[in-house]
Amino acid sequence: MNSEHDMPAFSALSLFSGAGGMDVGVRDAGFEIVLANDIDRDACETYRRNHGHHIIEGSLTDILPQFCDIKGIDLLFGGPPCQGFSVAGRMDPNDPRSALMSSYFDAVDAVQPRAFICENVKALASLNRWEEVRKNLLERASDRYHVRLMVLKASDFGVPQNRERMFIVGVRKEASDQADFSLKERLNELLKASRSKPRSIGEIVRDLGPAGSQGNIRTCSAKITYAKAPVLRRSPYAGMLFNGAGRPFDADGVSPTLPASMGGNKTPIIDEAQIFDGEAPFVEAYHRGLLGGGKASSGTAPPRLRRLTVDECLAIQTFPSDYQLAGSRSAMYRQIGNAVPCGLAEVVARAVREILECRYGMEEREEPIIPKGLQLLMEDNAAAIGQAA
């Protein structure tokens, strides 16, 4: 995606900002982010290094009472923690993190932005067990907004990852709205025009260089050992050929969803000899042998197989190549896995921006007002970081 920094900026407020992946996309779509919030310390430090000191570290519920005094925000966006809804978790409706979706819409009610973008897992949009949750969220937002719920696959928009995510997009209703205005049709039109083909995993890794080389130094040290009782699937890149939850990737394809649990033996596996030397894929040959009745190998896998590096994961999530991460190696992997792919966020935010431009025009843009209490919190955070440094 190409940034258009010469575009006049609409204002934006970021919630559940994490390491700022969604913020990269929103920024590159032409929004100026004036306030952000997250509770994770390492993620907040990463955010400051790449976006600035306008992030408040702490719980949203602690600062939410002041949001009623925020004025003139064009876009409120964020991805509340998804573990309570994710098929990769316990899918517990009583998980405290599930309640943060409601907190997000409390913020929308308080700030009343011209538009909002709420991101979460596909399961929240598609599973019957969450039907009542979906219905309540959409009905709540529909009082003031034209609302569209959609599921997007990142790889359809130039992101080398088959991550599917739910987006709820809202655009504020106005008295001047014409009867034929359809947010669904307009978004579909804009998103269709933004589709693009992603690069393969092999192309990304070749650009960065072998693990441990100058441009790819942040490696994962977790060993790869053969599973004693392999679980076979039709694809060699599924099943369980090695111990741990890290699956091998097809170098000629795109990545499955990168998990936040990366950093150890859940970190995905690639074949350097295939990528750099053009050798036949080791995993495919091993899988073929097992299907033919061959005996499972034991011990450590050959060194040509290794786990994705931090920089490769950043590239798969379409972060800028110079993005700076804070915290331990495991914290870096976690921040990347938790992020919304920057390129996908940009596509959605750019569509919303075009709709806002058509509905309002830049001449009607209001200057955002952030109440003094929140300004002081941003300043206090910045001062505390400066003293610690």
* Pick from 303, 83, 56, 315: nearest CA to 199: 315
Report, as an integer, the average pLDDT of 17-21.
Answer: 98
- Single out the catalytic residue among 82, 220, 313, 342: 82
Judge whether residue 305 has pLDDT over 90. yes
Instruction: Spell out the residues 6+ positions from residue 369 whose beta carbon is closer than 8 angstroms to its own.
Output: 69, 70, 71, 72
Q: Can you give the pLDDT at residue 4? A: 44
Q: What is the pLDDT of residue 83?
A: 57
- pLDDT score of 1: 41
Question: Each residue of 63-102: pLDDT tens digit?
Answer: 999 999 999 999 999 999 865 555 454 545 555 556 789 9
Q: Say whether pLDDT at 158 is over 80.
A: yes
Domain 10-197+340-388 is found in CATH 3.40.50.150 = yes
Residue 3, pLDDT > 60, answer no
Q: How far apart are CA 284 and CA 220, in angstroms?
A: 23
| pLDDT digit string, tens, across residues 348-360 | 999 999 999 998 8
Evaluate if residue 387 carries a pLDDT over 70.
no
Please name which of 148, 138, 111, 124 lies closest in space to residue 37, comparing C-alpha atoms: 111
Position 379 scores a pLDDT of 85
Q: 123-127, 149-153, 182-186, 259-263: which has the minimum mean pLDDT? A: 123-127
Write the DSSP string, 41-91.
HHHHHHHHHHH-S-EEES-HHHHGGGGGG-B--SEEEE----TTT-TTS--
Q: Can you tell me which residue has the tokens 């996908």? A: 344
Length of the chain: 389
Q: Where do the domains of the chain lie?
A: 10-197+340-388, 201-334
Q: Is 44 a catalytic residue?
A: no
pLDDT at residue 95 in the model: 56
Both tokens of 388, joined, read 């610690």
Tell me the C-alpha distance between 43 and 325, whole Å: 8
Give every CB contact of residue 65 below 8 A, 6+ residues apart in sequence. Answer: none
* pLDDT band, residue 333 (cuts 50/70/90): very high
Decide if pLDDT at 5 tops 50.
no
- Sign (positive or negative) of CA dihedral 295, 296, 298, 300: positive
Residue 252: partners with Cβ closer than 8 Å, 6 or more residues away = 200, 201, 202
CATH 3.40.50 at 201-334, yes or no:
no
Identify the CA nearest to 272 among candidates 313, 307, 241, 239: 307
Output the CA angle 33-45-76, nearest 5 degrees: 25
Q: Is a pLDDT exceeding 70 seen at residue 8? A: no
Question: In which band, very low, low, confident or very high, does the pLDDT at 50 lie, cut at 50, 70 and 90?
Answer: very high
Which pLDDT belongs to residue 81?
A: 86
In whole angstroms, give the CA distance from residue 54 to residue 329.
25
271 pLDDT exceeds 70? yes
> At how many degrees (to 10) do helices 342-359 and 21-28 cross?
40
* Pairing state between β 10-15 and 75-78: parallel
- Whether the CB-CB separation of 348 and 355 falls below 8 Å is answered with no
Question: Measured between alpha carbons, how far is 20 from 336 in angstroms, rounded to an integer?
Answer: 9
Tens digit of pLDDT for each residue in 201-248?
Answer: 999 999 999 999 999 999 999 999 999 999 999 999 999 999 998 999
Q: What are phi and psi of 148, to 5 degrees?
A: -135, 125
Neighbours of 9 (CB within 10 A): 17
Predicted pLDDT at 346: 98
The pLDDT mean for the chain works out to 91
Q: Read off the pLDDT of each residue in 155-159 and give the average, rounded to a whole number.
A: 98
The region of weakest confidence among 148-152, 169-173, 211-215, 384-388 is 384-388
What is the pLDDT at residue 129? 85
